[in-house]
Structure 1
Amino acid sequence: MPLHMTKIAFGAKCYDDLAGWYENRGEIALTTRNRPTRHAEMVGGSLYWILSHSLVARSEILSFTETPEGRWHINLKPELVRVHQQPKRAHQGWRYLTEDKAPRDLADGEDVGDALPGKLAGKLERLGLI
């Protein structure tokens, strides 16, 4: 069972902005200062994007490579997969996400509008209503 990670889609104001990052790109590589300690477990897992306090989409993690400057690239499959929105607080950098806590992908024909927005779902969850 692969390990996943979460990261804020910094600079994206909506899902279309995030999707635009993937358009016409053959390779997606995020740069980070430090390689995750558990990087070997994460290959084959996914990077889940946080947008407006919700996990909204994911991309498969293909590998980690070191740059000549000593930083690390997180190489992603250039495909963005929508997931059921799940509340997630903002954080700096990236965080690990286990399989049991990861949201499931939206099924074919399922609309993101069929799920509650992340902020609303988070409030209802805190109230014990969902």
Structure 2
Amino acid sequence: MDNYINLIKLSVGTETVEDLAVWQATKRAQAPDGLPRHVTRMWPKREGEILNGGSIFWVIKGVLTCRQRILRLDEYIGQDGIRRCAIVSDSELVRVQSALKRPFQGWRYLKPQDAPPDLPKGRASEEPLPVELNRALAEIGVL
């Protein structure tokens, strides 16, 4: 049994993995050390499991497309004085086998056995299956 847990999050406002990389390269999306971070209101209760090898999996336009290894959770206090959690990740975006995901708010836990596998390095630039085909395969349980 795995002793880590992943997070899954919608990447709102991005169209592609490349868009996510461009956003994460901006100062606004970075921790003080230059690593990408995503600030969220809720602090994960399963912090120890996340930091034991978990990744954040990104859903872009309804399709789970990539992941980043989570390095740490930083406290972030906004201008409004509210304590938030900054999920700081490795800068490498690892493409994964695409999977359709319905919209949801915030983030969710994703068990390792439910996470899609990484694509081989050589396939990182391949086009994903068309959404209609991917959806049809998912509906019949192939993906």
TM over 0.5: yes
CA deviations over 1:20-39 (Å, ceiling 9, x no partner)? 12448631111111101112
Is 1:61 paired with 2:61? no
Cα contact 1:63–1:74 (8 A) shared by 2 = yes
Of 100-109 and 115-124, deviating more is: 115-124
Runs of 4 or more, structure 1, over 4 Å off, are none
Matched residues in 2 for 1:7 and 1:119: separation?
22
Cα contact 2:68–2:93 (8 A) shared by 1 = yes
User: With structure 2 as the length reference, what TM-score do the two structures score?
Assistant: 0.79
User: With structure 1 as the length reference, what TM-score do the two structures score?
Assistant: 0.86
Partner of 1:124: 137
Cα distance change on mapping 1:47 and 1:118 into 2, 3 Å: farther
Is 1:38 paired with 2:40? no
Is 1:16 paired with 2:25? no
Partner of 2:110: 97
Matched residues in 1 for 2:40 and 2:117: separation?
26
How well do the aligned residues superpose, as a CA RMSD in angstroms? 2.1
Partner of 2:57: 48
Q: Offset of 1:98 from its aligned partner?
A: 0.5
SS at the partner of 2:122? coil
Gaps of 5+ in 1: none
Cα distance change on mapping 1:129 and 1:49 into 2, 3 Å: closer
- Counting matched residue pairs gives 129
Cα contact 2:25–2:36 (8 A) shared by 1 = no
SS at the partner of 2:42? coil
User: Percentage identity across aligned positions?
Assistant: 35
